[in-house]
């Protein structure tokens, strides 16, 4: 099954700090790490490490950090033959603070990610139409996300949309989404419902279904994921771990979810698989450096359930 990820690639400049600085404040004593990131790239890498056959469509700048990111995709066996490089803008960069509790604060300079235009989507129409599952996020121009979703929808290709960073979305787009995976704050922005527990997650999911979304999975951090699909609503608990850096946990969740769904795993089992992968990722610093291998995910699942089923 061919997994196609369309989206962003960034280089993350990460500083570990005792706590996230307030406006106007300087904090000393952090550790620095530069690592590959970007929600789209993180999802592609997570899917590849989890065993997926992954193609990644993105746009990077013609600079050194872009070349480093590309070398990483090649190392992970990702098909990047459709990836382009924009001569006019730098590769995407994210500045990330990670606090002692593992929580983060992120600002992104999208750069070349914004050059992933609807025209580029159209020029990749055959690749999109021949994929088995499409995964996207919202760090690329919204019109491009809409164009790709429209193409996939025209051939009944399932679309996973991770609506991050949060922004309002039209019903016209939501109707084309098979599986929407907001976190609590993204679900709130899309529905107006403050999501803090299973009951409010159910309300938000029901509003999203009314707007046309097929399955809704609301990721709820260490608590796990709320799943609302054809079999009704259920909470799939997370895996208790000591967090080091929660950056990209959602991306790892989405990439590995795509693999499990592409393999034909039932929704709840697929979410358990993705929960395990996301839990491993938060125990490590950095976005792509934190994405686990298939073996690590299976070991995590086996440790919890004492079986691979």
| 3-state secondary structure labels for all residues of 149-212 | HHHHHHCCCCEEECCCCCCCCCHHHHCCCCEECCEHHHHHHHHCCCCCCHHHHHHHHHHHHHCC
**Residue 59 contacts residue 84 (beta carbons within 8 Å):** yes
**Residue 79 contacts residue 56 (beta carbons within 8 Å):** yes
Q: Using the rule CB under 6 A, which residue among 147, 224, 251, 290 binds ligand RIB?
A: 251
* 267-281 vs 249-262: helix crossing angle, rounded to 10: 150
**Residue 210 contacts residue 202 (beta carbons within 8 Å):** no
Nearest alpha carbon to residue 163 among 196, 185, 143, 148: 185
Site stretch for ligand RIB (CB under 6 A), options 67-75, 140-148, 242-250, 261-269: 242-250
Encoded one letter per residue, x for contact with ligand RIB by CB under 6 A and - for no contact, window 129-168 reads ----------x-----------------------------
Q: Using the rule CB under 6 A, which residue among 5, 7, 12, 215 binds ligand RIB?
A: 12
Residue 174 makes contact with ligand RIB by CB under 6 A: no
| Comparison of 109 and 241: residue with beta carbon closer to ligand RIB | 109
CA gap 50, 145 in Å, rounded: 24
| Comparison of 91 and 200: residue with beta carbon closer to ligand RIB | 91
Those residues whose C-beta lies under 8 Å from the C-beta of residue 1, and which sit 6 or more positions away, are: 52, 53, 132, 133, 262, 263
76, 79, 245, 251: the active-site residue: 251
Nearest alpha carbon to residue 35 among 233, 247, 244: 247
List the interface residues with ligand RIB, window 257-276 (CB under 6 A). none
List the interface residues with ligand RIB, window 61-100 (CB under 6 A). 94
Residue 6 makes contact with ligand RIB by CB under 6 A: no
Nearest alpha carbon to residue 43 among 3, 92, 101, 87: 3
Residue 182 makes contact with ligand RIB by CB under 6 A: no
Encoded one letter per residue, x for contact with ligand RIB by CB under 6 A and - for no contact, window 34-53 reads ---xxx--x-----------
Residue 106 makes contact with ligand RIB by CB under 6 A: yes
- Is 101 a residue of the active site? no
Question: Judged by CB under 6 A, how many residues of this single chain contact ligand RIB?
Answer: 16
**Min separation Cβ 255 and ligand RIB, Å:** 11
Q: Please provide residue 161's backbone torsions phi and psi, each rounded to the nearest 5 degrees.
A: -115, 120
So which residues are the catalytic ones?
251
Contact set with ligand RIB (CB under 6 A): 8, 10, 12, 37-39, 42, 94, 106, 108, 139, 247-248, 250-251, 287
């Amino acid at each position: 099954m061919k997994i196609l990820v369309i989206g962003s690639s960034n280089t993350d400049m990460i500083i570990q700090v005792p706590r996230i600085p307030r406006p106007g404040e300087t904090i000393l004593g952090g550790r620095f790490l530069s690592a590959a990131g970007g929600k789209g790239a993180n999802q592609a890498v997570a899917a590849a490490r989890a065993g997926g056959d992954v193609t990644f469509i993105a746009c990077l700048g013609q600079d050194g950090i872009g070349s480093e990111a590309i070398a990483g995709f090649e190392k992970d066996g990702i098909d990047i033959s459709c990836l382009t490089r924009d001569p006019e803008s730098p590769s995407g960069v994210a500045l990330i603070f990670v606090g002692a509790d593992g929580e983060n604060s992120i600002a992104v300079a999208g750069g070349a990610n914004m050059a992933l235009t609807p025209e580029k989507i159209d020029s990749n129409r055959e690749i999109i139409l021949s994929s088995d599952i499409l995964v996207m996020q919202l760090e690329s121009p919204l019109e491009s996300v809409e164009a790709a979703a429209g193409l996939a929808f025209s051939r009944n290709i399932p679309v996973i949309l991770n609506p991050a960073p949060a922004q309002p979305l039209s019903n016209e787009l939501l109707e084309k989404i098979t599986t929407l995976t907001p976190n609590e704050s993204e679900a709130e922005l899309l529905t107006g419902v403050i999501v803090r527990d299973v009951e409010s997650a159910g309300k938000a999911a029901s509003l999203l279904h009314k707007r046309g979304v097929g399955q809704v999975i609301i990721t709820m951090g260490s608590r796990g994921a709320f799943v609302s699909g054809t079999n009704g609503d259920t909470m799939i608990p997370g895996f208790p771990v000591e967090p080091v850096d929660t950056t990209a946990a959602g991306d790892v969740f989405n990439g590995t979810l795509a693999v499990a769904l592409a393999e034909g795993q039932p929704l709840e089992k697929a979410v358990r698989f993705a929960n395990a992968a996301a839990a491993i990722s938060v125990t490590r610093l950095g976005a792509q450096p934190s994405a686990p291998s298939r073996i690590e995910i299976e070991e995590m699942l086996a440790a919890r359930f004492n079986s691979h089923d």
